[in-house]
Amino acid sequence: MTPKEMAKLIETKAKNYNYKKFLVSSKEAERYYRNENDILRKSKKSREVEPLRNADNRIPRNFHGLLVNQKAAYMFTAPPLFDVGEKQINLKIAEILGDRYAKACKDLCVNASNSSVAWLHYWVTEEGTFEYGVIDSNQILPIFSSDLNQRLLALLRNYKILDESNGKEMVIWEYWTKKESFAFRTEAKGYSHLNLQYYPFYSDSPEIEDGYYLSHNYGEVPFIPFYNNNIEKNDLNDIKPLIDAYDKVFSGFLNDLEDTQEIIFVLTNYGGTDLEEFLHDLKKYKTIQLEDDGSGDGKGSLETLTISIPIEAREKFLEITRKAIFEQGMGVDPDPQKFGTASGVALKYLYSLLELKAGFMETEFKLGFAHFVRAICRYLGVKCERIIQTWTRTAVTNDAELAEICQKSVGTVSTESILKAHPLVEDVEKEKEQLEVEEKKEQEKSNLYVGVFQEEDEKNKQGVNKDGEFD
Res 210: pLDDT? 44
Q: How far, in Å, CA of 428 to CA of 445, rounded?
A: 26
What percent of the chain clears pLDDT 90, i.e. is strictly above it? 40
Average pLDDT over residues 419-444: 80
Q: How far, in Å, CA of 310 to CA of 252, rounded?
A: 11
pLDDT tier at 443, thresholds 50, 70, 90: confident
Query: Which tens digits make up the pLDDT trace of 378-399?
Result: 999 998 889 999 998 887 665 6
Q: 110-124, 241-255, 443-457: which has the minimum mean pLDDT?
A: 443-457
Q: Name 279's Cβ contacts closer than 8 Å, sequence gap at least 6.
A: none
C-beta separation of 143 from 120 below 8 A: no
Is residue 215 within a helix (H) or strand (E), and if so which, with residue range?
A: strand 211-215
Q: 49-58, 107-116, 461-470: which has the minimum mean pLDDT?
A: 461-470
**The Cα angle at residue 301 between residues 300 and 307, in degrees rounded to 5:** 155
Task: Give the number of other Cβ atoms within 10 Å of residue 9's Cβ.
Answer: 17
206: helix, strand or coil:
coil
pLDDT tier at 212, thresholds 50, 70, 90: low
- CA dihedral sign, ordered 420, 424, 427, 432: negative
Helices 352-380, 87-97: axis angle to 10 degrees equals 100
The DSSP code for 333 is -
Res 241: pLDDT? 96
Is residue 389 within a helix (H) or strand (E), and if so which, with residue range?
A: strand 388-390
Q: How far, in Å, CA of 369 to CA of 268, rounded?
A: 78
18 by Cβ neighbours in 10 Å (0-12 / 13-18 / 19+) ranks as exposed
pLDDT tier at 17, thresholds 50, 70, 90: confident
Considering only CA atoms, which of 71, 22, 76, 63 is closest in space to residue 238? Answer: 63
Q: Name 217's Cβ contacts closer than 8 Å, sequence gap at least 6.
A: none
Res 114: pLDDT? 97
Residue 404 β-bridge partners: none
Q: How far, in Å, CA of 152 to CA of 131, rounded?
A: 20
Average pLDDT over residues 279-300: 57
Query: Which tens digits make up the pLDDT trace of 217-233?
Result: 898 999 999 999 999 89
Q: How far is CA 31 from CA 23, 24, 72, 243, 408, in A?
A: 12, 11, 18, 13, 49
**The Cα angle at residue 278 between residues 276 and 284, in degrees rounded to 5:** 100
* Cα torsion through 334, 340, 345, 351, rounded to 10: 0
Average pLDDT over residues 328-348: 74
- The radius of gyration of the chain's CA atoms, rounded to the nearest angstrom, is 35
Q: How far is CA 50 from CA 46, 53, 198, 251, 338, in A?
A: 6, 5, 58, 16, 42
Q: What are phi and psi of 469, to 5 degrees?
A: -110, 150
Please give the distance of CA 155 from its chain centroid, rounded to a whole number. 25
Res 403: pLDDT? 75
Name residue 418's amino acid: I
In the chain, count of helices (H) and strands (E)? 13, 14
Res 45: pLDDT? 60
pLDDT of residue 285 exceeding 70, the answer is no
Judging by DSSP bridges, how do beta strands 180-186 and 211-215 pair with one another? Answer: antiparallel
Q: How far, in Å, CA of 115 to CA of 144, rounded?
A: 18
Res 454: pLDDT? 67
